Amino acid sequence: MNPDEGNLRSSHREMSAVHLKFAHSSLHELACQFVETRLHDTCVRQRLQPEAAQIPLKKGTFFVLENESRAEPGFLLFLPGKPAVFMGTRAKGGKPPPAWTLRMRTDVSLGNTLFVATLDKILHTLRIEDVWVWKGETVYTEETFSRRRTYLKEFVESLWVPDARLMGGIQTTIANPKPLSHLLSLTPESPVFSIDLIPELPGRRRFTFSPGAPPAQAPKPLPTPTILLKRDVAPIQTTKRVFATAVRLDALPDVYDLLTRDGTPLCRAAVQQLALSQELRKYKGAQIPVVAEWKAEFGRYEILNIDI
């Protein structure tokens, strides 16, 4: 079963904030101690700086997580014999981050577990996004994001029963991050407030940015190209391959501007193969001769290989 099959999502969004019960002082203190003794860094994400964006993004695999509101991620804790606790990550006025109790149906074996989650009181949603501590083991610093997702799968399949009524109307979902190439499908009209880039490597913070600000402005979709090319280049058809030139986009790894061999812009193209991605990054020169194929399901070209 896919973790996302446990999702509950309502098409009706309440605009009045849900009222939550603050955690009792003893439970709040216990939650703080749990976090402090297991995590050396409680910062979930940091802003992606435009001038330095290409450096971290070229060094690893990232996943795209879209955020529809301003709500900040926090920690969802399950302590032995205690109700679930959602706690923020930022202290305020010298006091520990605020914490609230949640009524969730979970198995007793889930104790000593910490998820990263986003609680939106306005939209009445709780989105569970990552596992940092699993049954007493700090997996965030030791295991990849993909591996940590398997714990979410176990949580959905065996340890949790969704119950929006018990949660006071809060709809609980499991995050479904997309590949980095998903950025190609975003447009200015997409209902996205911000985007998180989640690294595959363990122990690394996410990067976050607003789609309207560089370097993450989403590329606008272009119509299917119908350009007449030179004789030595096959005409572009939506079902066939094309010989073209790829130009790097420093802010978006594995995404390239695609040009005809005479320099006429086509559209942006993505790279889906890891080995090819590495070859393209090593290629010397600003313009790379490539073979690309139109993918109707994505409305984009995919680069298949370097044209040698």
What residues are paired with 87 via a beta bridge?
A: 75, 99
C-alpha to C-alpha distance for 292 and 268, rounded to whole angstroms: 11
Considering only CA atoms, which of 173, 175, 133, 163 is closest in space to residue 151?
133
**Residue 69: φ, ψ to 5°:** -145, 180
Write down the pLDDT at residue 5. Answer: 42
C-alpha to C-alpha distance for 301 and 35, rounded to whole angstroms: 45
C-alpha to C-alpha distance for 196 and 226, rounded to whole angstroms: 35
Write down the pLDDT at residue 7. Answer: 41
Write down the pLDDT at residue 219. Answer: 40
Helices then strands, each counted (H, E), the chain? 4, 20
Number of residues that make up the chain: 308
DSSP string, 27-68: HHHHHHHHHHHH-S----EEEPPGGGTHHHHTTS-EEEEEE-
| 130 close to 145: Cβ distance less than 8 angstroms | yes
Write down the pLDDT at residue 33. Answer: 95
Q: Which residues of the chain have pLDDT under 70?
A: 1-15, 50-57, 212-240, 250-253, 296-299
Q: List, in order of start, the domains of the chain with CATH numbers.
A: 3-44+71-176 (3.30.470.30), 241-306 (2.40.50.140)
Stated pTM of the model: 0.66
**Residue 38: φ, ψ to 5°:** -120, -20
Number of neighbours of residue 236 by Cβ within 10 angstroms? 21
